[in-house]
Amino acid sequence: MIKEVKNGTLYFDGCNTLELAEKYGTPLYVMSETAIVEKCKEIRSSFLQKYKKTRAAYAAKAFLTLSMCKIIEREGLCIDVVSGGELYTAIKANFPPEKIEFNGNNKTIDEIKLAVDYNIGRIIVDGLDELSLIESVCKEKGKKMNVLYRITPGVKSDSHDYIVTGKKDSKFGIPLDDEIIFPAVEQAVKSEYVKFMGFHYHVGSQLHDNASHLKALETSLKLIKDTKDKYGYVTPEINIGGGFGIKYTDADNKKPYSYFLDPMMERIEKFSKDLNIERPEVVIEPGRSIVGEAGITLYTVGTIKNIPGIRKYVSVDGGMTDNIRPALYQAKYEGVAANKADEPKTDTVTICGKCCESGDVLIRDAEVAPLKRGDIFAIFSTGAYGYTMASNYNKNPFPATVLVKDGESRIIVKRQSYDDLIKNEI
């Protein structure tokens, strides 16, 4: 087991969390290499090895460091980046360029040049003018780039509005109005500077129902058929995105990858057979589902304020600077006192951060063992969008990140110092 309790102490991937807090300080991101590898194995067994002509591109925005790049490369996955910084990180990790795919709704000309110079595998075009930018860079550099169009499938997913990306009113993707999408497809098909690979969609994040994926798939399949009928061109790929939900709390009904992927693959196979075309290569983009439950965050308890008849606030030495999700869209988490992990949870408290914001709350109404200053509190399932969304608000330094495996630990991101905070200031 990745999480277990020994003699009242929480262990994570074989490591004593109290010893981790003592050695590396808090707040502390802790990532389990074992858990990450197990999710990669599930992707291989339920998708990559089960179906021919498939790829899985890890969505780097969930958690990206140089060490994470090496793990993903070793596990045989591609990587999906959404910024020049993520692309640069992959480049510095010597990640194979042909296995990099570049997403994002507003790529700058410099980011496109970086992608073309590094000969990455795919650029996923997100706007009508982006293809022309790519063509101009490829013309200048004498290169040709593989591209897909990210479409807006027009489906509503059952998730928080901030992480729903497939509805028509979205900053992501190209609208499917005939007068918009088909001239764009024609430009890509006829271009001498790009190879048009097909269509991409992403319906949202943290999903536990496959209905929106299947609805969006029908939209993409119709586009494949229309492209064949209108231009005699058969697109060789389809990217069906990610968004596969994880367990944050007991209320989350987590599903295996096969729940999402098997019905979609069955539909794509039937569609290809009916249209009498070779089945396109199918690509997925899991991110959170690979690293979310692989991470925990350790904090030290500080001030405790009991407001009789109202609420007890337990402050920790981190907060919205290391986990913005609760403040941003009311994300729910669970946690435990790492040094009292087997004690009865007889107290109800609100775990809050140290930032100068009333909204800096990590867990509301958490059932915990009675806490006191100096206790170590662990919050679970923080592996995705903790480190990558961290900020220096209130001049709080970024926490360190450690990678653990079988009782061993090592730093993969150093703790930011106060000097680091101001090193670019003049």
Query: Hey, which residues are catalytic here?
Result: 356
Structure tokens at 135: 């063509």
Q: For residue 27, say if its preceding peptide bond is cis, omega within 30 degrees of 0.
A: yes
**Hey, is 413 helix, strand or coil?**
strand
- What 8-state DSSP symbol labels residue 322? T
Listed in order, strand segments (DSSP E) in 294-381 are 295-307, 311-316, 335-337, 347-352, 361-368, 376-380
Rounded Cα–Cα distance for residues 372 and 301 (Å): 7
Rounded Cα–Cα distance for residues 313 and 185 (Å): 55
In the numeric block, the tokens 């901030």 are attached to 162
Buried b / exposed e across 384-396, counting CB within 10 Å, b at 16+? bbbbebbeeeeeb
Contacts of 406 (CB under 8 A, 6+ apart): 13, 14, 34
| Count of Cβ atoms closer than 10 Å to residue 247 Cβ | 15
Rounded Cα–Cα distance for residues 30 and 297 (Å): 6
Rounded Cα–Cα distance for residues 16 and 13 (Å): 9
- What 8-state DSSP symbol labels residue 230? H
DSSP string, 345-359: --EEEEEE-SSS-TT
Q: Of the candidates 198, 96, 83, which has an alpha carbon nearest to the alpha carbon of residue 150?
A: 198
Rounded Cα–Cα distance for residues 405 and 15 (Å): 8
By residue count, the chain amounts to: 426
Beta strand 335-337 with 78-81: parallel, antiparallel or unpaired? Answer: unpaired
Contacts of 228 (CB under 8 A, 6+ apart): 234, 275, 277
Over its C-alpha atoms, the chain yields an Rg (Å, rounded) of: 23
- The shares of helix, strand and coil residues in the chain, as percent rounded to the nearest 5, are 35, 25, 40
| H-run or E-run covering 190 | helix 178-190
In the numeric block, the tokens 């994880």 are attached to 246
